[in-house]
Amino acid sequence: MRPLDPLTLPLDGRRLLEASAGTGKTYTLALLFVRLLLERGLAIDQILVVTFTRAATAELRDRIRTRLREALDVLHGRRDADPLLLRLLTALPAARSRQRLEDALVRMDEAAIHTIHGFCQRILRDHAFESSLPFDLELRESEAALVQEVLEDFWRTHLYPASEEEAAWALATWGGPAGLLKGLGKALTALRCDLIPQVEDAEVASLAARARDVFAQVREAWERQRAQVACLLEQDSSLLRNQNAYRHDQVTGLLAAMDGLAAGPVMPYLLPRIVARMAASVMATLVKKKSAGPPEHPFFALFDTFVQDHGRFLRCRTIQVLTTARTFVHQERSRRKRAQGWLAFDDLLTRLAEALEQPGSGGQLADRVAARYPAALVDEFQDTDPVQYQVFSRIYRQERPAGTALFLIGDPKQAIYSFRGADIFTYIRARRETVPENRYTMGTNYRSTPAMVGAVNALFGCRRDAFVFTEDIDFQPVQAATEARAEPLLLDGEPAPPLIGLLLDSERLKSTRSTTISKDKALRAAVTVCSNTIVGLLDQARLGQATIGGQALQTSDIAILVRSHREAEAMQAGLRRRGVNSLASSQASVFASEEARQLALVLAALVDPGDPARIRTSLATDLFGCNAGQLHALNSDERAWEIRLADVHRYRQLWQEQGIMPMLQQLLAQEAVTRRLSARVGGERSLTNFLHLAELLQQSPAGRHGMAALLRWFRQQIDHPDNTAADQLIRLENDEQLIRIVTIHRAKGLEFPVVFLPFPWAGRGLDADQPLSFHERDSLGLTLDLGTGQEEHQRWAEQEQLAEELRLLYVAVTRAKSCCLFCWGRVNGLERSGLAYLLHRARCPESDAQLCQELEQLGGAQPLVGLRPFPERFGHHRFQSDIDLPMPQPRLFRGRVVPGWTITSYSRLASGSDAALETDRDEPAMAPSEEAASGCSPFTFPRGAASGTCLHTLLQRLECNHPVEGQQQLVAEVLEQGGIEARWQATAVRWLDAVLAVELPGACSLNQVPVRDRINELGFLFPLEKVDLRRFNRLLDGAGLRPLTTPVTSLQGLMKGFIDLVFRFQGRYWIVDYKSNHLGPSLAHYTPEALAECMDSHQYHLQALVYTLALHRFLDARIADYRYEQHVGGVYYLFLRAMDPAHPPGSGVHAFRPDAALIEALDDCCRGGAGR
């Protein structure tokens, strides 16, 4: 590649600029921008600058503005210029340059500096006819929630109705929709990829049939030959020698497993692991090599055939599910986005790419864009993907006439964002398609000390294939700038080595059974070693023995780079134990934090303030801060409980009236959250997360649809956090000058005098839960292998994973300006790490001595690595900072307990979530102006949970056999408690009198039911004994009702609920459920069809079945000769707003009587019966 001179670089054609770390990429880009303005005479809005993040866009805009201002100041004689800028300005007419620079600065807001998505959006909207993009289209940054929703629908429609065996296999394979999403991996996120192998449905069916046929033979043979097989297993000498696999107790277990397998009526999808030992091929591998061989018997060969055929079938079925799911998601997410009127950011890319490829119009669009932007500078080009490259290649095609320029600027050694869709192989394609004379390299490092530059050169120059793909990504050594800006780290007056290895002693850390250190032990040891080393450096700095540039080393000079949130937490805890404060930023979503879980609990209490359990749970969170003693005291202190209830209702009202953000701000202030959290370790972190979550909740469009909708959205984000969404990433808790703990991905573009790498030995292997991902070596296209079993594909995927490890290592090491300290030792899996690939030829040294020897060889005659041995003992000295640290925080359990036994209810069953809330208790309140305009009537009575609760309370407490008019005091009290204005009292009195007077079909009116024949709020709690939800759904389906959507297949625990009213009339028992749902402003909106639609949409029929089953069990336990047909009348759903004796008979009443056979079957199902 040619060395780059930014002043002589031709300003036309396609140019590829490779900028190693610290070589001034942004400086060069800004200088090229100035040249295009002054030499080419382009206007500021004719130069397109594209990068990949909003933060980078803002930085580029600022740097370009600064460079333009600097050039103008030089021309006015107000400042000195750097040599390159001075050379440029001296060679051009000063007056013309001044005019162009002044014009550019005035029009800086018009500069075409965009993210890639911003650029695509502008082009699509400016050329809406060619792109067919609606002007009012909503744009969303992420479509993760939609993809999860679609996958859940796929699971319900394709896997939930499957046979019990197949459903159990699907759950064991993926665990649910979230696991299936992970299993698909890049098949969903990559904008372009091929899936192999292709499996036809007929092939899967054929394999399934063959496996079932062989299984039938296995069952038959086992019945005839079991005794012979058992005798061989228990007496064969070759098997008896293998006590690991064929001990007596294991043979007993093997025989029992085979008995269970053969007794099954159908071929199982999941085989007990132990039965594989019955297969001839497995037996041959398990017996001792020196024995005569395994016993021979036809059954072993037959079972071997079954295991092979069964495995082939499941592999093909897995591929079939994944490919079908991918097709379903692609089609459904496109359809739903069209229906809902929005696009994701990546859709902008694909839309523009498609528009550019249209015959005729695509070429015209490309010509217009090129004419509008004759020059384009694409920054961070190593993070491109195939669609982005296609867009720029189409616009700035190489055969375009002179005058257009495309500068592709990046560093392939720093391509580390593959998890976001960045594709290093697209960069490789662009490099190959750029003629060699148009490829340039930037060879001077202005960031680091000469020693640090030399260390990086030595480390990555020790192998020709340092970045694996030698022909396309070669390492070019760089030189240090003549006048380096960075100063070395001096320890006791002497320069510290640029690389310092903090050694982990394998002899002391490994277990007796292992030759290497386990990863868990290595992590703990690395945390301790790094923390102690940092404390030692800071102590030296206080004594003037650790300096940089004549100044004592500061905490803000130190950064610790990690790969994961877990590593960051471990390092922060280790530093905290030694008295050192730090700031941690990671690649984790704030929705995955403990604070998100706690805030969801608080919001759930505000959405449903009638549930005391939710309120008590919310009080235990950090936002309310009640301890166990205070919570216990609320049980006996009624006044304190009423105060807390009032607080909850006040916050709820504030949320309803002003929104989520004002409510949370008031809660933080009134509950003294800031003061309480600031007084404990990690409190700033928690407070920052709470404020961050409040912002995201305020911005969510779900908030427009009510409180419950916003809570559902929030829980969806918690269940499926998006670690790639920039607005979700955990923020730094403050900007104090403290040690920074940063993920390598977030550290890219940053620089620090001293960098610690505690875990460079933790190489990542391939993710077994995801398809093999690799690129064809000729076409460079992304391919996902779902299960071909080809070793070449495995090798390519491992090769690409190693290349990514090396690029991450390069980014990490080059963040250091003066010194990089890294923990190193013989850790399990070391050979997969990038550093081991460079230092030890991708292997783990046989001894610590050999490891040290190979480290010391780096740099040859001038060793570049200083080694610090593992301490003989660790002291407990704490760093004495100027900041008083609070008492240590206790450890928190942040895991999730999956209950095998639960208390559930109708609403939770209906939604498939423990978070479900009945929607009729949370309708949006009607605006006061709307109410006033409509007059006071049942149809305009206030909506919402408070109103619904008031009506239910009144219908329970009123003496229904007496006119309501004589009970106005009670009505007034209940309405006042619910926050209903007094002007509604008269309406409520007349309305309730009317409701109680309506005659119910087949029974009587409620005001005719004597007190002795009614039970208000009948609570029930009945057991659920291993309920098979598949059978439950079949029963619902057979009754013409909508099945449940929960992803689980069984349920055990208790069913809980409260029936509004049970009354007796003429020896039969009836269930009544009051519904205050607002279906419309007049009686015409409460037709029988409208009521039936409401019943279906809310799954009230399911509620009716649960209530009827509860009543069925209740009566069966109390009536000696109980018969369902004789004693149960049915269920009335009373839609109160439409009930009035003056209305046509049956208005507002939906009657439902489940069939006796259905109730009996549901009763059996809930008792654990298998049914038919």
Query: Which residues are known binding-site members for ATP?
Result: 19-26
At 361 the three-state DSSP class reads: helix
Kindly report the three-state secondary structure assignment for every residue of 13-44.
Answer: EEEEEEECCCCCHHHHHHHHHHHHHHCCCCCH
Cα within 13 Å of Cα(727), Cβ side: 13
Q: Look up 1073 and say whether it is catalytic.
A: yes
Cα within 13 Å of Cα(937), Cβ side: 14
Which contiguous run of DSSP H or E holds residue 118? helix 116-126
Contact, 772 vs 766, CB < 8 A? yes
d(CA 566, CA 563): 8
Q: Which of 194, 1073, 1096, 1155 is catalytic?
A: 1073
Instruction: Write the burial class of residue 704 (CB in 10 Å: 0-12 exposed, 13-18 middle, 19+ buried).
Output: exposed
The dihedrals phi and psi of 546, each to the nearest 5 degrees, come to -130, 110
User: Strands 558-562 and 752-757, how do they pair?
Assistant: parallel
Kindly list the strands in the beta sheet with 194-196, ordered across the sheet, starting from the edge strand earlier in the chain.
194-196, 782-785, 772-775
d(CA 214, CA 308): 10
Q: How many helices (H) and strands (E) are present in the chain, helices listed first?
A: 45, 31
Q: What angle do CA 1022, 1026, 1029 make, to 5 degrees?
A: 95
Binding positions are 19-26
The dihedrals phi and psi of 100, each to the nearest 5 degrees, come to -70, -40
Q: What angle do CA 324, 334, 195 make, to 5 degrees?
A: 35
User: Strands 112-115 and 2-3, how do they pair?
Assistant: unpaired
Kindly report the three-state secondary structure assignment for every residue of 987-1028.
Answer: HHHHHHHHHHHCECCCCCEHHHCCHHHEEEEEEEEEEEEEEE
Which contiguous run of DSSP H or E holds residue 668? helix 660-670
Per the listing, tokens 């690939």 go with 837
The dihedrals phi and psi of 524, each to the nearest 5 degrees, come to -65, -40
Indicate the residue type of 166.
Answer: E
d(CA 112, CA 319): 45
Contact, 689 vs 730, CB < 8 A? yes
Alpha helices by DSSP H, listed for 396-544, are 424-433, 450-461, 506-509, 519-542
Which contiguous run of DSSP H or E holds residue 410? strand 405-410
CA max distance for the chain: 110
Other beta carbons within 10 angstroms of residue 767's beta carbon come to 13
Contact, 462 vs 838, CB < 8 A? yes
Cα within 13 Å of Cα(740), Cβ side: 26
Cα within 13 Å of Cα(1126), Cβ side: 8
> Which of these, 737, 379, 427, 479, lies nearest to 583 by C-alpha position?
737
Q: What angle do CA 18, 453, 1 make, to 5 degrees?
A: 25
d(CA 573, CA 586): 15
In whole angstroms, how far apart are CA 1041 and each of 425, 541, 744, 872, 919?
Answer: 52, 74, 53, 71, 19
Q: Which residues are catalytic?
A: 1073
